[in-house]
Chain A
């Protein structure tokens, strides 16, 4: 009990025990939700991820974000979207030309990092992480995957919300 003396000589006391109780419960809750995942990611504004029972965690791979308005590699907007599909001028044989150019740069950086000659290099085993709104169609995801395939990315990690009971 914290107390102070007033000018009139009375002792005013404040019961801080309920506050301590609240603090204890709050700390317990926060400690339980504390994430030890090595990589954390804030979901891009406007994107709603689907729920999944997957408990696999995110790791450090280049991120392709597909919102309802555009496609981004990291923070860079590579193409706009119209009616849930890539605008005509950016489509080439089912793939997305500006996205391919960006992924080529990433693939090239991966090759240099691994210090391997390009001619002897097979398909990149490095994966791409895809963050996509749950209402968008597979058609769009397929275009992104096709484009990535041409830049030698063949594995994908699709971002989902871990279901509470998962």
Chain B
């Protein structure tokens, strides 16, 4: 006695799945996705320029001695300097080559400054006229963002903590100091 076969085949012959509607859907989906695909991802580097403000003057009860961080970008080198706004000024300068290794060293120097002063968030950058936009973007990357695996201690002022920040920043506020009349 022969057992009745089940599954893809019946006694009448092979049963085929009609895949044409499936292909139709795939074709439409592919067309739609090809039209809406973005092959070059555009990002932005946020910078500010100095401006005169008519905002309230700073609170004089708060300590005035603030550490200022400056980056000088010239054709030959990158200079990272720090100084205090009140005496003792204690100015420190370090120069780095303007190649990939030098930029990485400057980044590490800035990271150590930021680690020692967790409340800092502002950096002023001075750029020579001859620097190209490509070179500027390279240095801005090193100045603005933390690399994978790098972390910063939490700021002493809890209100300075920004929750949900998409990309961890080294110096979120970069002021283009050269842009002055």
Interface residues of A (CB under 8 A from B): 1-3, 16, 19-20, 23-24, 26-27, 30-31, 33-35, 37, 40-41, 43, 49-58, 93-94, 122-123, 127, 129, 132-139, 141-142, 145-146, 148-149, 154-162, 166
Contacts and interface: CB of A to CB of B under 8 A. Distances in A.
B44 A160 contact: yes
Contact of A50 (B49, B127, B134): B134
Contacts of A149: 49, 51, 179, 181
Contact of B47 (A16, A26, A158, A162): A158
B31 to A, nearest CB: 10
A127 B48 CA distance: 9
B19 A145 contact: no
A159 B42 contact: yes
Contacts of B36: 34-35
Contacts of A135: 132-134
Contacts of B48: 154-156
A23 B23 contact: yes
B176 interface: yes
Contact of A30 (B37, B43, B127): B37
Contacts of B55: 122
Given A142-B129, A166-B43, 5 more contacts: A30-B33, A51-B137, A137-B129, A155-B49, A157-B45
Mostly, the A contact residues are mixed
B141 interface: yes
B145 A138 contact: no
B130 interface: yes
Nearest to A153: B49
Contacts of B131: 137-138
A54 B141 contact: yes
Contacts of A132: 133
Contacts of A23: 23, 26-27, 30
Contacts of A156: 46-49, 176
B54 interface: yes
A138 B141 contact: no
A16 B19 contact: yes
B166 A55 contact: yes
A154 B49 contact: yes
A35 B27 CA distance: 20
Nearest to A17: B19
Given A52-B45, A56-B46, A134-B134, A146 B145 contact: no
Contacts of A50: 133-134, 136-138
A157 B46 contact: yes
Contacts of A52: 43, 45, 137, 140-141
A3 B141 CA distance: 58
Given A33-B38, A55-B167, A94-B181, A160 B130 contact: no
A33 B43 contact: no
A160 B137 contact: yes
Contact of B179 (A33, A134, A146): A146
